[in-house]
């Protein structure tokens, strides 16, 4: 009887896995994180850094980007695809596991895509929450940094 109970517990624990790694739940959570992070009408640096892997390191760069005139162009993001990666896929992308490859469009204030082609980025599961990968936001902050005539990497994006 005890053996049956132990087997039932082990099977249920192994079979279900974390609910956040189920594709539909991951896509929904990542979609919310991307939409909120890239809604630049909301200038809350604190709220945005909470949605980024190691977001506190990017506070200064994010504050500068949000105060620029370029920030008025983005009013969110729409995630069109989320592909959960294997541990080796996460390792190849230099991300912690679990992680996901994300296809998304940055949206204009009229909710139309800002670019002709969707962008690619990543999401990472940290403490049971899907966050926008630091590498994704640093790539975009790097474009802002360059468009502002600065050299090097934005604060918090370096090694």
Put simply, whether the predicted model's pTM sits higher than 0.75 gets the answer yes
Task: Please provide the DSSP assignment of 11-27 as one string.
Answer: HHHHHH--GGGSHHHHH
- What is the structure's pLDDT at 20? 64
3-state secondary structure (DSSP) of residue 52: strand
Give the C-alpha separation, 37 to 5, whole Å. Answer: 45
- What is the structure's pLDDT at 159? 63
The matching CATH number, chosen from 3.10.450, 3.40.50, 1.10.10, 1.10.150, for 21-147 is 3.10.450
- What is the structure's pLDDT at 37? 94
* Torsion sign (Cα): 81, 26, 99, 51: positive
Residues 103-108: contacts with CB under 8 Å, at least 24 apart: 103/79, 104/34, 104/77, 104/78, 104/79, 104/80, 105/77, 105/78, 105/80, 106/38, 106/74, 106/76, 106/77, 107/38, 107/74, 107/75, 107/76, 107/77, 107/78, 108/73, 108/74, 108/75
Q: What is the pLDDT along the chain (159 residues), one digit of tens a residue?
A: 333 333 333 333 333 444 567 889 999 999 999 999 999 888 899 999 999 999 999 999 999 988 888 788 889 999 999 999 999 999 999 999 999 999 999 999 999 999 999 999 999 999 999 999 999 999 989 988 888 888 889 999 986
């Amino acid at each position: 009887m005890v053996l049956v109970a132990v087997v039932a517990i082990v099977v249920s624990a192994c079979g279900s896995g974390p609910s956040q790694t189920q594709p539909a739940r991951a896509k929904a959570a990542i979609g919310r994180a991307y939409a909120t992070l890239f809604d630049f009408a909301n200038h809350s640096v604190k709220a945005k850094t909470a949605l980024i892997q190691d977001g506190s390191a990017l506070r200064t760069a994010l504050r500068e980007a949000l105060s620029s005139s370029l920030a008025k162009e983005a009013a969110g993001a729409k995630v069109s695809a989320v592909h959960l990666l294997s541990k080796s896929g996460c390792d190849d992308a230099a991300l912690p596991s679990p992680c996901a490859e994300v296809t998304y469009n940055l949206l204009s204030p009229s909710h139309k895509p800002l670019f002709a082609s969707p962008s690619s980025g990543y999401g990472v599961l940290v403490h049971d929450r899907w966050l926008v990968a630091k590498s994704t936001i640093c790539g975009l902050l790097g474009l802002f940094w360059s468009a502002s005539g600065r050299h090097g990497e934005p604060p918090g994006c370096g090694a």
